[in-house]
Chain A
Amino acid sequence: MDAKLVNPFVDAFTTVMPQMGFPEPKRLKMNVREQNAVSKGVSVIVGFTKQIRGNVVYNMTEDTAKFIASTMMMGMPVAEFDAMAQSAISEMSNMLTANAATNLTGMGLEVDISTPSLSIGENFQVKISDAQYLTVEMDLAGHVVELDIAVEQQ
């Protein structure tokens, strides 16, 4: 896939997260991957259609997911990754992807996004592409959120 399509996702992350009360995220590393992603515990998939087709996965540990949910809910303690916390992470994924979609539109690409699907479990595999795709790790106040980006321009 084209590396220029990664920036809209990274920019969305660095723009949206501070608006929800997080410190400025830092981009850690970017890799090309061929195999399936292994979930860190919580993985949210959002799909794209129209001029961009593919999927993005927000992959994080349950601890990170709880930290994010708690911050989004104004510091409310989140002991269990329950329905409310799951809803917060889904919402975050939706906001990040919608923002990335807006960035892609700014590049002249018409896109539509699906609703997020949030999966929870241990060591399950996530396959989003038959080909190579890119992963970017973002540091969020010491927590790591991995973005797996497999999108192609039509």
Chain B
Amino acid sequence: MPVRPAALSGEAALSAAMQAAQIGDAAAYRALLRDCVPVISAMARARGVQGAALDDVVQDTLLTLHRARATYDPARPFLPWLRAITQRRAVDALRRKGRRPQEVHEPLAYEARADDGPMPGDDLARCERATILAAAVAHLPEGQREAIEHIALRELSLEETSTLTGRTKGALKVNFHRGLKALRASLSSRKEGTDA
């Protein structure tokens, strides 16, 4: 008799849900992914990932979990499997961050360097920009919206986006360029309206 994930608790529940997902149970998989998000966040935070990078690590880990789901062995605990994937993605994120150039050996440059922290009002401005962009993206046709969201905003590759959306790479490229053009037109007309 199959074990119902909801009847279990903790790691056993996650393990049972993953086992159900391996045979195609979409409801168990949805519940598993939702419950993995806070666990992945905590694991990534413990590795030193902070701020916006945390969301990137969560998304990368969810994608990797999806691709690697066949490798989970139900006879073994689930959390070490998830932790190994999360730690790898966290290390990738930290390396990406570490590759950004920062001058620290030049005293003058060090003194003159602007504070990386947010300026007063930055949060408000960022929130407003995000709202405007989200509204503009939401008005795009579905194909263009998906291409923009996955490729531009979440920085997924064409291959990953193709897997997620079921569209061909060619169609995604066309939708992406049309979406960018439409966004450019929409945002620039809005800016001109504001300036006027």
A and B: interacting chains: no
- Give chain B's interface residues, CB within 8 Å of chain A: none
- Give chain A's interface residues, CB within 8 Å of chain B: none
